[in-house]
Amino acid sequence: MSAKQHLHTFLQHAGQADFDERTGAAPVALPSMRTSTVRFKSLDHLDQAATDRSAGGRSVVYGRAGMDTHRALEDVFCALEAGERAFLVPSGMAAITLAVMSVVSQGDHVLAADCAYGPVRTLDQNVLQRMGIQTTYCEPTVEAFSAALTPATKVLYVESPGSLLMQMLDMPALAAFAKAHDLILIADNTWGSGLSYQPLSLGADVSVVAGTKYVGGHSDLMLGAVIAKDKAIADKIDACNYALGFSVSADDAWLALRGVRTMPLRMRETAANALKVCEALSQWPEVKTIYHPAWKEDAYHELWQRDATGSNGMLSFSLTIDSARARRFVNALTLFGIGFSWGGFESLVQLVDKNSVASHSYWGHDNAVLLRLHIGLENVDDLIADLTRAFSLSLQK
């Protein structure tokens, strides 16, 4: 990407097909280049590609790594995340797995933010522990991480803003801490997806993104990416990725390329809608706390202003109602689908399981009900009307 070009411009021009030499014509958008293997003009060309690959280059000698469509999407992730190398994997969870597995060995210790995406604990319990890798979950502050640091600690795993409560972390301070103790800092950046937040620019070593969410943007795609800026770390990820055998369909890479072109528009709209919903919810006496870093009363609003360049449609709010009423409220909503995930065009609601949020130190373990919304691209007045109507209906048993 040229230094003078804005990211939004780059996203419209990324992945252009080359002109046909004979006709001088090219399709505007790169087609999906499906292939399971690659053929070479000569053995010399194959040798050249293999040499480049063993030096850590992007040359393709076999289909698993993907060709032009994949490469274009990798370039997009590098531009979004301000990284040097990007690796595509079949889901956001696979991105987390790849990032962690690339840098840990038997006997290592991982420090993890207690606000990280829930299934990180499943990776820890079902896989890492069997490999002799221990993980400690901490309140995501330098103080708490310092207290839990051991001589075996190798990785600091964080997510900012965190899952469920969108708690902003002080990424530059955590990066300084990681550097001082020679830890690799991995950050889940699904929330920012490179547009609203850039962990690598704030000092992290590796960024992971669930392209399933805002990058794809249309709730029809599972995809993940791991992005690194340092060559030594990128080479480790490359080797691990090859060994684990992750591969992404060219059609999925193509869908992500198509989705990402409108990500700036979608994110801006959904973020503006979410703020209006915060404003409306703040008027309800039963609403206790709104969790959305762009909201002026969020506890981490200042940190968000300092480190983020935008927001999105994710918000949570706690309510002083009993869980039976919360269930009636959710069931009465008509424009919000009951479901997990986010980042698509549509609004979603999740009645957050108490157990999943109880492990987040920021939650405070009180008895309030917690709801998470993804605000979609519907008309926001319709969304607010739906919330208001369903909430008053929920009074009737």
Ligand X SMILES: *Cc1c(COP(=O)(O)O)cnc(C)c1O
- Interface residues with ligand X (CB under 6 A) are 91-93, 117, 159, 163, 188, 190, 210, 212-213, 222, 224
The answer to whether residues 292 and 298 touch, using CB atoms and an 8 Å cutoff, is: yes
- Which residue number has the CB closest to ligand X? 92
* DSSP letter (8 states) at residue 64: G
| Element holding 186 (H helix, E strand) | strand 184-188
Between 158 and 287, whose beta carbon lies closer to ligand X? 158
Q: Which two tokens stand for residue 98?
A: 């790849």
Between 222 and 299, whose beta carbon lies closer to ligand X? 222
Between 92 and 329, whose beta carbon lies closer to ligand X? 92
Catalytic residue among 68, 108, 170, 188: 188
Catalytic residue among 58, 64, 268, 389: 64
In the complex, the smallest distance separating the C-beta of residue 156 from ligand X, rounded to whole angstroms, is: 16
Checking DSSP bridges between strand 224-228 and strand 287-291, what pairing results, if any? unpaired
In the complex, the smallest distance separating the C-beta of residue 232 from ligand X, rounded to whole angstroms, is: 25
213 is catalytic: yes
In the complex, the smallest distance separating the C-beta of residue 44 from ligand X, rounded to whole angstroms, is: 40
Between 116 and 319, whose beta carbon lies closer to ligand X? 116
Gap between the terminal Cα atoms of the chain: 58
At residue 381's C-alpha, the angle toward residues 376 and 383, to 5°, is 45
In the complex, the smallest distance separating the C-beta of residue 192 from ligand X, rounded to whole angstroms, is: 10
Of 303, 385, 290, 310, whose CA–CA distance to 347 is shortest?
385
Catalytic residue among 117, 157, 291, 300: 117
The Cα–Cα gap between 27 and 159 comes to 38
Q: Which two tokens stand for residue 57?
A: 């280059």
117 is catalytic: yes
Between 213 and 229, whose beta carbon lies closer to ligand X? 213
Checking DSSP bridges between strand 206-210 and strand 153-159, what pairing results, if any? unpaired
Between 210 and 281, whose beta carbon lies closer to ligand X? 210
**What are the start-end ranges of the E strands in 7-98?**
85-89
Beta-bridge partner residues of 137: 112
In the complex, the smallest distance separating the C-beta of residue 396 from ligand X, rounded to whole angstroms, is: 34
At residue 279's C-alpha, the angle toward residues 361 and 388, to 5°, is 100
The answer to whether residues 89 and 226 touch, using CB atoms and an 8 Å cutoff, is: yes
Reduce the DSSP state of residue 304 to 3 states and report it. Answer: helix
Between 70 and 213, whose beta carbon lies closer to ligand X? 213
Catalytic residue among 213, 229, 266, 328: 213
The Cα–Cα gap between 90 and 70 comes to 12
The Cα–Cα gap between 275 and 122 comes to 33
In the complex, the smallest distance separating the C-beta of residue 181 from ligand X, rounded to whole angstroms, is: 25
In the complex, the smallest distance separating the C-beta of residue 342 from ligand X, rounded to whole angstroms, is: 7
Of 7, 14, 2, 1, whose CA–CA distance to 258 is shortest?
14
Between 66 and 343, whose beta carbon lies closer to ligand X? 343
> Could you count the other beta carbons within 10 Å of the beta carbon of residue 42?
8
Reduce the DSSP state of residue 47 to 3 states and report it. Answer: helix
41 is catalytic: no
Integer angstrom CA distances of residue 293 from 165, 276, 297, 313: 9, 14, 8, 11
The answer to whether residues 270 and 376 touch, using CB atoms and an 8 Å cutoff, is: yes
Reduce the DSSP state of residue 168 to 3 states and report it. Answer: coil
188 is catalytic: yes
The catalytic site residues sit at 64, 117, 188, 213
